[in-house]
A = this chain, B = another copy of it.
Amino acid sequence: MSKEEVVLLGCWVSPFCMRVKIALNEKGIEYEDREEDLFGGKSELLLNSNPIHKKVPVLLHYGKPLSESTIIVGYIDETWASPPLLPSCAYGRAKARFWADFIDKKLHDAGAQIWRTNGEEREVGTRDFIEILKQLEEALGERNYFGGEGDAFGFVDIIAIGMASWFPAYEKFGGFKVEDHCPKLSGWIKRCKQRESVRKVLPDPEKVYEFLVMFRKMQGLD
């Protein structure tokens, strides 16, 4: 497969784009990574490819556009069979989709309640965020990965680990350590980061923090 056949319109700091990159890496698919300038103006290709949400990531496969990261990761899994990211049984797939949906609905917004706020609002946001992490940790249990199939790295891990690249920034803003509240989840993050598919995608935590500090200044929060 030539790189022109799979093109990603993305942004380095977006956890949603990281998901798509990690899924493609897991499958061993080469792709062209086109960085969008989200502040300087989105490309015509992005706007035409995702006219409803006008957001990254967009994956172009032979020029056909796909959007919404969780849906794109599902498409990647269905299009390139090996290694499988979702379980082989329908019930396992439904459970994996449940946790992906939980992460989509809860985790990013809860994190925003830490880094986009101040004072008491941030304290409440930090407590809520830790509660959500504890629910995730309980779902992980004693396993190495959320899976995927059995104990293997898979769909839910990919949906969650991009989000985890922002955790060090949340920790700084919120004054807490994920490890102190959720040691098993913390171990899971470390295991994921040892995978090449993940390591070459996740940005330097310091750069994510600087990005969020800059964003806060732009929004007049500091």
Contact = CB atoms under 8 A, between A and B. Distances in A.
Given A71-B97, A74-B97, A97-B74, A52 B102 contact: yes
A101 B52 contact: no
Contacts of A64: 91
Interface in A34-80: 52, 61, 64, 66-68, 71-72, 74-75, 78-79
Contacts of A97: 68, 71, 74
A90 B98 contact: no
A75 B90 contact: yes
Contacts of A66: 91, 94, 98
A98 B79 contact: no
Contacts of A78: 90, 93
A213 B108 CA distance: 34
A106 to B, nearest CB: 9
Contacts of A101: 68, 71
Contacts of A68: 97-98, 101
A113 B97 CA distance: 28
A189 to B, nearest CB: 21
Interface centre among A79, A90, A102, by most chain B C-beta atoms within 10 angstroms, is: A90
Contacts of A72: 94
Interface centre among A67, A75, A98, by most chain B C-beta atoms within 10 angstroms, is: A98
A71 B52 contact: no
Across the A-B interface, the 7 shortest Cβ-Cβ residue pairs: A78-B90, A75-B94, A71-B97, A79-B90, A66-B94, A71-B94, A75-B90
